[in-house]
A and B are shown apart, each in its own frame.
Chain A
């Protein structure tokens, strides 16, 4: 008895407009559309539809739309249709529920409950169109010793730094989870914008070594594609300890996504599952993290900053303090809304804490311990707009990672079906026919557009606050006010409620 699970969405076709051109059929990797000869018209099987909007966007006459299905179970505030369907799926298969992209459920989004200040009278706003407005950020340790040469001149004693033209980077997305063309788009955009993209744990494709100056390579528990040249090629190396979408677990890239090229990049045989264990098996305690950090520093002769990425979990502040004391140059904190190419639904939707709260606590804890300048902090896990960036920086972040927003710029419509490997937008797939739909020439320009616009918006908001250097915004929490937040939330965020004086 396999349960029939009614479709969530219905494909609606306007037959007055449809010309039977068949574009939708060609474009849908889920085989939703087909031509019915007998009826001489295109028909759709909505049960296969993932609502990726590819057909809607591609239809030359705009004859298609996707609507929420009217088919409903009996109303129940406790047992939602989604929850019931999940039970049916597991009863049918005995499988662990697998989902993609970030937690879609209704949890408070703290960025949406924070408002930003602006100058009036007592100090002046600055007009970013006319006046210089600096968004350049250097990531790395700032706790340099002041030393002078024999002439009394200052010596640059700083550990290696990463220079970003704006406080935004592309977060880790592995080749394998996303396509070659998606990677090329990210790499080229990072180069043009003067920021960084991140290989994720899938190794660095040989074609992309030339973008090394704008590349962060990742060392994750599976160590895929990690070897001396890989470390050497990068501007910085990120140790992935955790991911916001799935804290505490590893990852499985199924063998079917291990194409020839992915296999060469990960340096594992084609078609064999790529399994990342939950922990690094050389790290079972904080002092072991120090061992891995320094083994990479030794291997790269202390020339590159080491980033340690952790998921935002309950005790994140203490963990970050430990990481800061273990030699990391940068800590990336990934909140529970962060995206993923595949994660067990239950983990994604139930584990971890919001990035805003984690960031606020980490920044404050590092300051209380007097070590905030021994490490930079990068916030990740659903940074959706320039306003989120501004708020994150004012809470204490040095920079932000964006993943989902970058994929949206490349065409993603958040259908959350990455794990099926049939991404119609050519992003989360290794199918060559689908991959070529994403033209990297177009893709990289769209990423450049997006971040150029964001940077301008960041400058506008800074200017309004009378700030012309992003450094002066970092940790400047008096620039923030909460709305509709309770005392505990305000205390954790370290901000006042709107209406309270400065």
Chain B
């Protein structure tokens, strides 16, 4: 799957580390009402100049209500052999409830697309029991082995009742390519327009990056990459794409799933306050933040970043502690917006109840209202 489709002889993605600048955007309707992808496409399109046509993508939450108990796998295939090998693997490990080629349309500016398939699946219970892993670990392990072992196959989305759609091109073209404005409706959407610095672009390398229900869109090149990578790799993660987004996803997954920290606590690890700032806080906060910094020094994400983390039931926006990247949040009734630039919000909602730029290191968390089921 490591296709170099530009013919310019640049290295394949995943073989080298690719820092990139970007635009990010997100919308959530906290009442749980769903919307098509039309708004998020308009939002990210407004920030066209923050992308360079080498990658765009979206994550939609609540988009598969009819299959919400099944893992939705989105796959890129280079060819029929890859598809055959992958389906043989899937049949051995999962019950496949539904599978089909993903519906796309021809859009000017999108070319070189792989074969794209979607599967709704559930782990085979005997396999799962024998694996001695919990369900999440089992699914992640299967995703990793397809991506690592089957030549020309790449799972780019694997959560329940959510899906990632991405490719090489400007994000608004990618959105239309996948018919997000017509075929899908979700309560939350995130979007990403990519500006990679040294890659011809690869469909799998576009963002969001996903792991089960988690998705990350991210802007900025972090300086702590290798410190972070070498730390999380101790816990079984393999940063094969060598992107910041990938390592950030693993860090958050580790802190949530393994360490059972809350989102607010995670923000205090990855975007920790300066020691001098911590010193001025209340005893209670000082105790908590000092402990978190002392316990997870290697998970501090240093350098510029703004991220939007999507999860089942909400989104979290977070800036680096120096706030070296721009990010704006807006609210209108149950609707909440996050965008790299204010225009990305105003274009879809001119009259906001509130608009603000979150401080560096302070997470903004928008969750579905109490009692709302996604």
Contact = CB atoms under 8 A, between A and B. Distances in A.
Contact between A and B in the complex (any CB pair below 8 Å)? yes
Interface of A: 119, 122-124, 126, 131-132, 134, 136-138, 142, 144, 146, 153-154, 156, 158, 161, 367, 370-373, 465-469, 471-479, 501-502
B275 A136 contact: yes
B265 interface: yes
B372 interface: no
Contacts of A122: 19, 21, 197, 221
B227 A476 contact: yes
Contact of A472 (B224, B235, B259, B322): B224
A132, A372, A469, A479, most chain B CB atoms within 10 A: A469
Nearest to A466: B223
B19 A146 contact: no
Given A124-B324, A373-B231, A502-B19, A471 B223 contact: no
A367 B237 CA distance: 12
B224 A123 contact: no
B235 A123 contact: no
Nearest to B299: A471
A475 B298 contact: yes
A142 B293 CA distance: 10
A123 B234 contact: no
B276 A367 contact: no
B230 A477 contact: yes
B261 A372 contact: no
The 8 closest A-B pairs by CB, nearest first: A472-B302, A472-B224, A466-B223, A471-B297, A478-B226, A123-B221, A476-B227, A476-B226
Interface string B1-43: 0000000000100001101010000000000000000000000
A153 B283 CA distance: 13
Contact of B259 (A146, A371, A466): A146
A477 B300 contact: no
B11 A467 contact: no
Contacts of B356: none
Q: How large is the interface on B (under 10, 10 to 19, 20 to 34, 35 or more residues)?
A: 35 or more
Interface of B: 11, 16-17, 19, 21, 197-198, 220-228, 230-231, 233-235, 259-261, 265, 272, 274-276, 284, 287-288, 290-298, 300-304, 322, 324
A467 B234 contact: no
A146 B198 contact: no
Contacts of A472: 223-224, 227-228, 300-303
A373 B227 contact: no
Contact of A372 (B19, B234, B276): B234
Nearest to A376: B297
Nearest to B291: A156
B235 A476 contact: no
Contacts of B322: 126, 131, 468
B303 A123 contact: yes
